[in-house]
Structure 1
Amino acid sequence: MAGRRNGHAGRPRVGVLALQGDFREHAEILERLGAEPVEVRRPEDLRGLDGLIIPGGESTAIGNLMVHSGMLDAIRSFFYQGGAVWGTCAGMVLAASATTGPSQPLLGIMSALVERNGFGRQVHSFEADLEVKGFDRPFRGVFIRAPYFEDVGPGVEVLAEIDGRVVAARAGKVLVTAFHPELTDDTRFHEYFLREVCGSDERS
């Protein structure tokens, strides 16, 4: 794979932050696609990884856990040293540089203003067919207390929208989705992350 961060020729090693959320579902898909999934709970677990997935959950709780465990600074360092990051749902919130709501820990690795629970609470969870840039057919998005980006900065490529609300985006080595690809049988976003983001030399 071109652009492999750690120079090894075998399977890409992709961590899944295992503090909350659907980390096992992500790991199972990565395994099926030929990657080596690694559960990440401590800063030292990031060593030797090509990429990291931050799954859904409660973004404030995950952010606080990341601060107390040292993971917030460790993930920032991992990213700025060339590691790829994909945030899904709560992970999308954490990747943003600013939030419209109360202050909370953020990684700030994508220039974007995020609206937490932008589509409502759990009762308003829904599914929608999304037109995704670069995909040849719609992707069925599963939205659970989903956020969206109200605004994005220069260099952020919008991949999918709902009524003008950004629900998927990429900037160099960081990918975000407001929805949960790991809860579907469609592996195209995981394939995209492995091929285009982990395998890219591009920086955000």
Structure 2
Amino acid sequence: MKVAVLALQGAFIEHEQVLQRLGVETVEIRQLKDWQQPIDALILPGGESTVQMRLLKELGLYEPIREAILIGMPVLGTCAGMILLSEGRLGTMDIEVRRNAYGRQLGSFHTVDTVKGIGTDVPMTFIRAPYIERVLSDKVEVLSTVDGHIVAARQGNQLATAFHPELDDGTRLHELFLGMVVGRSDKE
């Protein structure tokens, strides 16, 4: 299994480190030629969604990545990555997202809560985090809410979180994602 991590900006190294601890091969996507190799899944990391979107378009990665997700490539979007998956950006996931929903850097926080499919006591680190303001179809399954706001959801092979699982010690969310990748491989 080879998981690509968008490495244009943001917390991509931390995702790579978690995947390496789980014994998964990773490849950084920095330009179109990086994308043109066999890849089983993709992680869109946290960072600056506006910068990441601009670079995706400038580097010719927007359409190929969008198309791969639409035809079923498993993708994990965390924080800015969740924003990228939403309506008005890549538009592959039927969600509307409120950017910086908890305020700026000073609004960052850590909590522990439940995520469907993982269990209880899941550590959640929110850094200038968004949340899902509105689910646009019944294809979207809400996996977690914190203080009444949707912070994790799944639609088919897309998994999105408002928090940064790569910044905590646990690997359960990445394991859930890798299970989606394996599940897709089993169907092919």
Task: Return the TM-score normalized by structure 2.
Answer: 0.93
Task: Say yes or no: does 1:40 pair with 2:29.
Answer: yes
State the alpha-carbon separation in 2 of the partners of residues 67 and 58 from structure 1: 15
Paired amino acid for 2:3: V
State the alpha-carbon separation in 1 of the partners of residues 122 and 102 from structure 2: 18
- Residue matched to 2:90: 107
- Residue matched to 2:45: 55
Identity of counterpart residues, as a percentage?
49
Alignment deviations for residues 23-61 of structure 1 (CA, whole Å, 9 cap, x no partner): 111111111111101101123323311100010111111
Secondary structure of the corresponding residue to residue 82 of structure 1: coil
- Residue matched to 1:75: 65
Paired amino acid for 1:115: R
- Residue matched to 1:19: 8
Q: Where does the alignment leave 5 or more consecutive residues of structure 2 unmatched?
A: none
Task: Return the TM-score normalized by structure 1.
Answer: 0.86
Equivalent pair of 1:84/1:174 in contact (CA under 8 Å): yes
Q: Where does the alignment leave 5 or more consecutive residues of structure 1 unmatched?
A: 1-11, 99-105
Q: CA shift at 1:200, angstroms?
A: 2.9
RMSD: 1.6
Q: Give 4+ residue runs of structure 1 displaced > 4 Å after superposition.
A: none
More helix by share: 2
Equivalent pair of 1:173/1:200 in contact (CA under 8 Å): no
- Residue matched to 1:164: 148
Q: Give the alignment of 1:1-204 within 5 angstroms.
A: 12-46=1-35, 47-98=37-88, 106-152=89-135, 153-195=137-179, 197-201=180-184
State the alpha-carbon separation in 2 of the partners of residues 84 and 41 from structure 1: 19
State the alpha-carbon separation in 2 of the partners of residues 185 and 59 from structure 1: 24
Equivalent pair of 2:117/2:176 in contact (CA under 8 Å): no
Secondary structure of the corresponding residue to residue 174 of structure 2: helix
Equivalent pair of 2:77/2:84 in contact (CA under 8 Å): yes
Q: CA shift at 1:116, angstroms?
A: 0.4
Residues matched between the structures, number:
184
